Amino acid sequence: MSGKVCIVTGANTGIGKATALALAKHGAAVVMLCRSRERGEAARAEIASESGREVELLVADLSVQSEVARAASDFAASHARLDVLINNAAVMMPRRTLTADGIETMFAVNHLAYYLLTNTLLDLMKASGSARIINVSSNAHRFIKALDFDDLQGEKKFGTLRAYALSKLENIYFTYALARRLQGTTVTVNALHPGVIRSELNRNLPAFAVWIFNKFTKPTEEGASTPLYLATSPEVEGVSGKYFDDCREKKTTPISYDVEASEKLWQLSAKLTGVDATACM
């Protein structure tokens, strides 16, 4: 990974931090994209010390679209290339909340931020040669049996686990739709399940739920294995539009392969973020 530039979102804790550290140890130039400057700087210093490499911090609240766009612009202004983009940041909210843009928070952070950041940086990745986009999804997507486009933001019916699972299915729809658009380019995109990992994803849940979650989850470092594999392994060079679990390609649910639904979500996401829906066609 020497000479390669990698962005990892949500890199100050959990899977993102473990992935950023592993990439730095592999010789990559790592850019951490984090919401909190204080927590991000503390993690940056720790990763730099442990890896022996310089690590960069980019600060942005991914729930706010103007900050996502500004972070992408700041990165492009100071970097000539982007070889790996790992969309990892996610939240799990105990109740329905709205972002500053008036969008349900999990939908905004877990899906729209992936969509907006990736599309904003896509030209730079195409110009970088063989580049990889990696979307951290989850097997939680398997709990969703149908996509209700009339209630994507939980206005009619909201539940924490349902909204989170829905956002992870949206990550897969986004991955498959983007892979179709990237055919014939040197940029690939894949999604993954990191495992049921101990992280701060559950930090907004009640204390008992956090205790249960931590009791039956794996160490954070194990969650970095598949993102690292997709970022570094020559085995997946040129592989695109796939879903991986434990470093192996796996099938997703039947509804996740619904091209019409994924295209409808793409168009809606473009409308909500101001992205040109035909830009990478």
Residues 115, 164, 173, 176: which is the catalytic one?
164
Cα–Cα distance, 22 to 227 (Å, whole number): 10
What is the sign of the dihedral through the CA atoms of 120, 126, 131 and 136? positive
Active site residue 164: yes
Residues 6 or more apart whose CB falls under 8 angstroms from that of 38 comprise none
Three-class SS state of 180: helix
Write the CA distances from 165 to 114, 143, 242, integer angstroms. 15, 7, 18
Cα–Cα distance, 264 to 150 (Å, whole number): 12
Tell me which residues are annotated as active site.
Answer: 164
